[in-house]
Amino acid sequence: MPMQLVADSGSTKTVWQWIAPGGAVHEARTAGINPYYLGASDIEAILTRELVPALAVDDVATHDVMALFFYGAGCSLGARQALVREAMARSFPQASIAVESDLLGAARALCGHSAGIVCVLGTGSGSCYYDGSVIAATVPSLGFILGDEGGGAHIGKKIVTAFLRGELPPAVAWRLQDDLAITKEVVLDRVNRGPMPSRYLAGFARFASEQQDDPYVRKVIYDSFSEFVEHYVMRYDGKSRLPVHVVGSVAFHNLAILQAVARDRGFVLGNVLASPIDALRAFHQPGA
């Protein structure tokens, strides 16, 4: 029963899709696979413990997988791509395995075979000019400490900083403290000494999305998106003639604000997806 797997991975989770024997699309979620943080044995363990049992529910054995397309955070460099590819080859010895960056995955999901400016607004942020085949230009995002404008960690940092300085509107501050039970000591400890501080800060962006009707919170999100546009979108030569496509939960859950930024900055907002996985599976589906 030959079949193929398609995966979209971040540091937190990996979403896998395949077409089951009956023709239905099936999906599984495993831990994130990022070669910056995991070695080959760690990746193989995730596949063995989490993915292989999910496939077995559909009576799919590892030797049935003939093609595997993996798009992941940390997979833009050849050495790290090779590490992921080698780990996956141990679990899927019959498969042809392609490992690419999450940014190329976003481009293929959003644009298919057409040119466009591609943006990622999730926990972090990223962007590129995609010519319909390859990433032709990119502006480095620099991570949440130096950059990542428009991403969840950037918005969350603005929200929690305003809270700690007493600048949030009282009603919003009360809801934040009630929902997340935070104190200055807890925040500083998690940001300065805790694991994955960007993910922690992005949690405050989820709160901000829920409070986006508040004028202060809406302006925080608007300003963060505007900074992203200024430092990234406006740097690409095609910004005036090509659609700007966006993928990521932060963009999807704050779509009205993103649309307002597009109107104010004069660019055409194209496709906006919460996740690229459905479009990626369709992109690689035989005959597509």
pLDDT digit string, tens, across residues 177-227: 877 778 788 878 888 787 778 788 888 898 899 999 999 999 999 999 999
CA-to-CA distance for 33 and 71, rounded, in angstroms?
A: 10
CA distances from 5 to 121, 281, 287 (A): 25, 8, 16
Q: Which of 248, 287, 282 is nearest to 18 (CA)?
A: 282
Q: Do 16 and 83 have their domain in common?
A: yes
127-156: average pLDDT: 86
Question: For residue 74, how many C-alpha atoms fall within 13 Å in the half-sphere facing its CB?
Answer: 18
Q: Do 10 and 72 have their domain in common?
A: yes
Structural contact between residues 80 and 33, judged by C-beta atoms closer than 8 angstroms: no
Contact partners, residue 121, CB within 8 Å, separation at least 6: 150, 151, 152, 225, 228, 246, 247, 248, 250, 251, 258
Q: Indicate whether 106 belongs to any domain.
A: no
The proportion of the chain whose per-residue pLDDT surpasses 70, expressed as a percent, equals 97
Residue 155: which H helix or E strand, with range?
helix 152-164
pTM, full prediction: 0.85
Domain coverage including residue 151? 113-275
CA-to-CA distance for 15 and 168, rounded, in angstroms?
A: 36
Q: Do 151 and 27 have their domain in common?
A: no
For the chain, strand residue ranges (E) read 3-9, 13-19, 25-31, 65-72, 96-101, 116-121, 125-130, 135-137, 244-247, 269-273
Structural domains in the chain (count):
2
